[in-house]
Amino acid sequence: MPTERISPRLLRVLAVWVVILMAALSVACRQDMQDQPKYIPLRPSGFFADGRSERPLVEGTVARGHLDDDTAYYTGKGPDGKPLDTFPFTVTRDVILRGQDRFNIYCAPCHDRLGTGDGMVVRRGYRKPPSYHIDRLRQVPNGYIFDVITNGFGAMPDYSAQIPVADRWAIVSYVRALQLSQNASINDVPAANRGQLGQGGAQ
């Protein structure tokens, strides 16, 4: 349709509608990612009576899988806060074998497979840990070793994220087996098994 046939009034009306449409589109396309209607952590809020945006947990709330109500099992400490000298469960052959497997993966790189502190990374310049076979470490409670695995000590980092609680205890059991194996005498071996050591049953 030729433009000269459109009345000036109609053109003005069309122009107004175009302006309105453009304004509506510009508003609809705005995303304002930098100013979202949300609460930023630790910022105050006028909505809640206590003025805080973050809300306290409902009393008694426990994260799924983190009840952790067995203090001895999860911390290696007794009711008095001191390291346990026992294990919080029965140690079986399977537990010790599991401990050996986890020890060889996580501990042997520094402590070596015998626990003498001469692992491969130590040979490459990492700080040497003490041998498990010194008197001090043979005499520490089981809970102490568990705590060191959990929280680290000195140059040793913590392994709480890498090693589950049950496996930490399994490693402790294997460390005890290592210590016994390197400091045992023939009298610690049952008489019926001494022949397997080439001792011929000698006392």
List domains and CATH numbers for the chain. Answer: 81-185 (1.10.760.10)
Would you say residue 196 has pLDDT above 70?
A: yes
Amino acid 202: pLDDT: 43
Amino acid 203: pLDDT: 41
Would you say residue 197 has pLDDT above 80?
A: no
Give the mean pLDDT of the chain.
87
Of 176, 147, 179, the C-alpha closest to 163 is 147
| Gap between the Cα atoms of 76 and 86, Å rounded | 9
Amino acid 40: pLDDT: 79
Would you say residue 30 has pLDDT above 70?
A: no
pTM (two decimals): 0.66
| Gap between the Cα atoms of 177 and 142, Å rounded | 12
Where does the pLDDT of residue 29 fall: very low under 50, low under 70, confident under 90, or very high at 90 and above? low
Determine contact, residues 168/175, Cβ cutoff 8 Å.
no
The residue-averaged pLDDT of 184-190 equals: 84
Least confident range of 24-38, 60-74, 85-99, 165-179: 24-38
Amino acid 33: pLDDT: 66
Give 150 or 183, the one with higher predicted confidence: 150
The residue-averaged pLDDT of 95-115 equals: 97
pLDDT in tens, 109-147: 999 999 999 999 999 999 999 999 999 999 999 999 999
Where does the pLDDT of residue 34 fall: very low under 50, low under 70, confident under 90, or very high at 90 and above? low
DSSP state letters, the chain: --GGGS-HHHHHHHHHHHHHHHHHHHHHH---GGG-SSPPTT-B-SSSTTSBSSPPPPTT---TT-----HHHHHSB-TTSSBPSS-SS---HHHHHHHHHHIIIIIHHHH-TTSSS--HHHHTTPPPPPPTTSHHHHHS-HHHHHHHHHH-BTTBPP-TTTS-HHHHHHHHHHHHHHHHHHH--GGGS-GGGGGGGTSTT--
pLDDT in tens, 166-181: 999 999 999 999 999 8
Would you say residue 8 has pLDDT above 80?
A: no
